Amino acid sequence: MVFRQATWDEPLLIELSRKGRRGYSLPPMDNKIRSEVNNIEESLPSEMIRRESPGLPEISEPEIVRHFVRLSQMNFAIDLGMYPLGSCTMKYNPKVSQRIARNPRMAALHPYQHESTVQGTLEILYELEEMLAEISGMDCFSLCPAAGAQGEYVGALIVRNYLKDEGFADKDEMLVPDSAHGTNPASAAMAGFKVVKIPSSNEGIVTEEAVKKVLTKNTAGMMLTVPNTLGLFEKEILQVTKILHESNGLMYYDGANMNALLGHARPGDMGFDIVHINVHKTFATPHGGGGPGAGPVGVKSHLRDYLPVPLVSKSENSYILDYTVPRTVGHIKSFYGNSAVLLRAYCYILSLGKEGLKSVSEQAVLASNYLLSLIDKETFEITYSPKTLRKHEFVVSASPLKKKTGISAGDVAKAILDFGMHSPTTYFPLIVPEALMVEPTETEPLENLEAYAKILNDIASLSVTEKESILDSPVNTSIGRLDEYRASHPATMMLNWNKLPKSS
Ligand SMILES: Cc1ncc(COP(=O)(O)O)c(C=O)c1O
C-alpha cells in the first residue's frame, strides 16, 4: 500500500469541486420559510440580490474531511511531538481547558450581550485579574491586551502618559537590554520612545554599572525580561530597579519568562511597576498560527488609572465592566479581551493551584538543565556563564560545529525535523552567534529530553560523516528545505491561487 502523504501542492477545495456533489443537504423550504425569504428579498435593494450562484466548491463530506485532515498532517504540532521553541514557547495545552472553553455556555456568548446575562464570564475574568495580581505581586490587572507584544505597547504608553502627568514629559528614552525580544524595542518605539540599548555583561546579564552608563535625566524607564532570554536570572535586579526609581523612571517587566518563577519570585517584589504576562507561555493557552492570544497587563496601584478599559470590577451584587478609568490609555482591543483564551488560563491556574504552579516552574527549570547537561558542549557551546544553572530555557551556540563542518544552526534546525521533533528557536537572542534556544517546558517526559539531546548529538556526528544528508534535510516532511529568500520575499511569494504552478 502506498501511503498518501500530504504535499505542498495539495489541491484546493475549488479544484476538488465537481458539479452536483454535496456535503450536506438542507431540507426543502416549507411555505412559511419560503414566504419569509421572499419578504426579506423584497425588502433588499435589487442590486444587492445575488443573481448567480456564489461559486462555492461542491464536494462530498468524506472528501472535505480528507482534505482538512491531510492539511493538518502537513503541520507539526505540540500534540504530535516535542516542540521546544525557546522564548516562543509551545506549551502543551491541557485538553480539559479546551473542553471547558468549547462549552456553548462560554463559547456561544456574544460580546454585545448585556452585562447582566454574562455574569459568569465576568466573574471568571474578575477572579483571573485577582489571581494574576497575586501571582505577579502587582496590585491590579487589565486583561484587554491580545498578546505579549500588545501588553508591552500598553505598558510603554502607561509609562509615557504617567511621566507626562508627573511633569516629566522630557523623559523620552527607554532602556532595553541587547538580549531582549525584538518586540521590546518595537513597542517602546511605537509609544514614541527613543530606544537605548544596554549591552549584556560577560555573564549575560544587565549590571548596575551598565545601566548607570546609559542613564540620563531623559530616561523614562527600562524594559527587562526576568529570567532573561539566555535563561539567566538577572541577579542585579534590585540594584537596577533602585537606580531607575531614584531617577524617576519606571520599571517594565516583560513576563514572557514568568513560567520559570511561578510561586518562587514575583516581579512586584523586585520593584517592577508594570508587567505583562504571556498567558500562552505561562498558563498553557494556545499560541501561534496567528490565532487569538492574550497579554494581560498588571500595574502597581499608582498606575491603576492608566490601565486600558474596560476593567472588570465588582459592585455590591454584580460584576461590571468599568469604563470609567480616569486616565486610561484607552481601548486597545475590542470588548474585554480574548475571553476564551483567558478562560483557559483561569482553568490552568485553578486546576494546578498554588503548589501545582510552583512545581510547574520547578519541572520546567529541571527539564531545561537536564537536557542541557546531556548535550555535547564541544559542539554546542554555552557562550555566557557556562557554569551557571539555567532557568526554564537555555541557549547554545552552534559556532564550533559551523567552524568544524560548515553546518550552521539553521542546518541543525532543519535536520531535527527529520527525527520527528520540532527545532528550537534559532538565531535568537542576537547576542549569541549561531544560537539554538531550547525550552522543553514542564510537560516533556524524561525519555523525550534524552531523545532530544541524542538527536542534537547525532546531528553533530552526521555533520562530519554525512554532511550532504544534513544539508538536504528535511526529507521526511511534506515540504522540504525552502529557499528562505523566495519564501519570504513579496516579489516571489505566491499568495494567489491563480499564480500557483499546477501540479504535474
Ligand atoms: C521575551 C519575550 N517577550 C515578548 C514576547 C512577545 O509576546 P507575544 O508573542 O505574545 O506577542 C515574546 C514572544 O514569545 C518573548 O519571548
- Asked if residues 390 and 365 have their Cβ atoms less than 8 Å apart, the reply is yes
The arithmetic mean of pLDDT across residues 291-299, rounded, is: 91
pTM: 0.91
19 located within any domain: yes
Residue 502: the pLDDT is 57
CA of 383 to the centre of ligand 1 (A): 23
65 located within any domain: yes
Is residue 267 reached through a cis peptide bond, with omega within 30 degrees of 0 on the bond before it?
no
For residue 169, the one-letter residue type is A
Nearest CA to ligand 1 atom 16: 87
CA of 440 to the centre of ligand 1 (A): 17
pLDDT band, very low/low/confident/very high, at 10 (cuts 50, 70, 90)? confident
Residue 500: the pLDDT is 58
Residue 73: the pLDDT is 85
- Judged against a pLDDT cut of 90, whether residue 148 lies above it is answered with yes
Nearest CA to ligand 1 atom 8: 148
Nearest to 295 by CA among 432, 194, 447, 156: 156
Torsion angle defined by CA atoms of residues 222, 225, 231 and 236, in that order, rounded to the nearest 10 degrees: 40
472 located within any domain: no
Highest mean pLDDT among 26-35, 105-114, 217-226, 289-298: 217-226
Provide DSSP, 291-354.
------EEE-GGGGGGSPSPEEEE-SSSEEEE---TT-----SSTTS-HHHHHHHHHHHHHHHH
Lowest mean pLDDT among 203-212, 319-328, 474-483: 474-483
CA of 216 to the centre of ligand 1 (A): 28
Q: Report the atom number in ligand 1 closest to the C-alpha of 229.
A: 1
Three-state secondary structure call for residue 381:
strand
Q: Does ligand 1 have an atom closer than 6 angstroms to the CB of 278?
A: yes
Q: Does ligand 1 have an atom closer than 6 angstroms to the CB of 440?
A: no
What is d(CA 303, CA 290) in angstroms, rounded to the nearest whole number? 31
CA of 183 to the centre of ligand 1 (A): 7
**Would you state the cell numbers that stand for residue 389, as one nine-digit string?**
544553572
Is residue 429 reached through a cis peptide bond, with omega within 30 degrees of 0 on the bond before it?
yes
Host domain of residue 36: 13-73
Nearest to 89 by CA among 272, 360, 358, 347: 360
CA of 217 to the centre of ligand 1 (A): 29
Residue 450: the pLDDT is 98
Residue 290: the pLDDT is 56
Q: Does ligand 1 have an atom closer than 6 angstroms to the CB of 181?
A: yes
Nearest CA to ligand 1 atom 7: 148
CA of 19 to the centre of ligand 1 (A): 47
Domains identified in the chain, total number: 1
Residue 504: the pLDDT is 41
CA of 59 to the centre of ligand 1 (A): 41
184 located within any domain: no
32 located within any domain: yes
Kind plus residue range of the DSSP H or E element containing 57: none
CA distances for 475 relative to 414, 423, 470, angstroms: 9, 15, 10
Contacts of 47 (CB under 8 A, 6+ apart): none
Give the bridge partners for 314, in sequence order: 319
- Judged against a pLDDT cut of 60, whether residue 501 lies above it is answered with no
Q: Give per-residue pLDDT as tens, 25-68.
A: 889 999 999 999 999 989 999 999 888 988 899 999 999 999 99
CA of 154 to the centre of ligand 1 (A): 14
Q: Does ligand 1 have an atom closer than 6 angstroms to the CB of 293?
A: yes
Q: Report the atom number in ligand 1 closest to the C-alpha of 147.
A: 10
Q: Report the atom number in ligand 1 closest to the C-alpha of 152.
A: 4
What is d(CA 454, CA 458) in angstroms, rounded to the nearest whole number? 6
What is d(CA 181, CA 429) in angstroms, rounded to the nearest whole number? 7
Mean per-residue pLDDT of the chain:
94
Three-state secondary structure call for residue 285:
coil
Q: Does ligand 1 have an atom closer than 6 angstroms to the CB of 147?
A: yes
Contacts of 370 (CB under 8 A, 6+ apart): 446, 449
Residue 435: the pLDDT is 98
- Judged against a pLDDT cut of 70, whether residue 492 lies above it is answered with yes
The arithmetic mean of pLDDT across residues 363-382, rounded, is: 98
**Would you state the cell numbers that stand for residue 73, as one nine-digit string?**
498532517
pLDDT band, very low/low/confident/very high, at 440 (cuts 50, 70, 90)? very high
The percentage of the chain sitting over the pLDDT mark of 90, rounded to a whole number, equals 82
Q: Report the atom number in ligand 1 closest to the C-alpha of 149.
A: 11
What is d(CA 85, CA 92) in angstroms, rounded to the nearest whole number? 12
Lowest mean pLDDT among 115-119, 205-209, 408-412, 481-485: 481-485
**Would you state the cell numbers that stand for residue 129, as one nine-digit string?**
485579574
40 located within any domain: yes
- Judged against a pLDDT cut of 50, whether residue 187 lies above it is answered with yes
Q: Does ligand 1 have an atom closer than 6 angstroms to the CB of 87?
A: yes
261 located within any domain: no
The arithmetic mean of pLDDT across residues 345-368, rounded, is: 98
**Would you state the cell numbers that stand for residue 478, as one nine-digit string?**
511534506
55 located within any domain: yes
Ligand 1, pocket-test mutation among 143, 181, 252, most atoms within 8 A of CB: 181
Residue 234: the pLDDT is 97
Residue 60: the pLDDT is 96
Could you tell me the maximum CA-CA distance found in the chain, to the nearest angstrom?
A: 82
CA distances for 419 relative to 5, 60, 75, 146, 463, angstroms: 17, 36, 15, 34, 15
Nearest CA to ligand 1 atom 13: 88
Residue 484: the pLDDT is 82
